Structure 1
Amino acid sequence: MPVLSFRLKKLSGDVGEPKTGEVRITSSIPKIKNIEEREITVGSSKQKVLGIDFEYSVTYEPTKAKINVEGEILYTDKKQREILKNWKKEKK
Structure 2
Amino acid sequence: MPVLGYNIQGVSFEKNVKAVPPGQIEVKISPTIKDLRLGEMMTPNGKVSGIDVLFDFEVEYRPDIAKASVKGSLLYIPPKRDRIDEILSLWEDEKKIDPVLMVEVANFLTTELSPMLMIIAKEMRVPYHVPLPRAELRGQ
Provide the TM-score with structure 2 as the length reference: 0.58
Tell me the SS of whatever aligns to 1:22. coil
Which residue, 12, 26, 29 being the options, matches 1:27?
Answer: 29
Structure 1 counterpart of 2:22, which letter? Answer: T
Tell me the SS of whatever aligns to 2:59. strand
Provide the TM-score with structure 1 as the length reference: 0.84
CA distance in structure 2 between the partners assigned to 1:6 and 1:40 by the alignment: 11
Higher strand share: 1
Quote the residue 2:9 is aligned against. 9
CA RMSD of aligned residues (A): 1.7
CA distance in structure 2 between the partners assigned to 1:46 and 1:88 by the alignment: 24
Alignment of 1:42-81 (within 5 A): 42-43=43-44, 45-77=46-78, 78=81, 79-81=83-85
The CA deviation at 1:46 is 2.3
- Relative contact order higher in (CA < 8 Å, ≥ 6 apart): 1
Structure 1 counterpart of 2:27, which letter? Answer: I
Quote the residue 1:84 is aligned against. 88
Structure 1: gaps of 5 or more residues? none
Larger Rg: 2
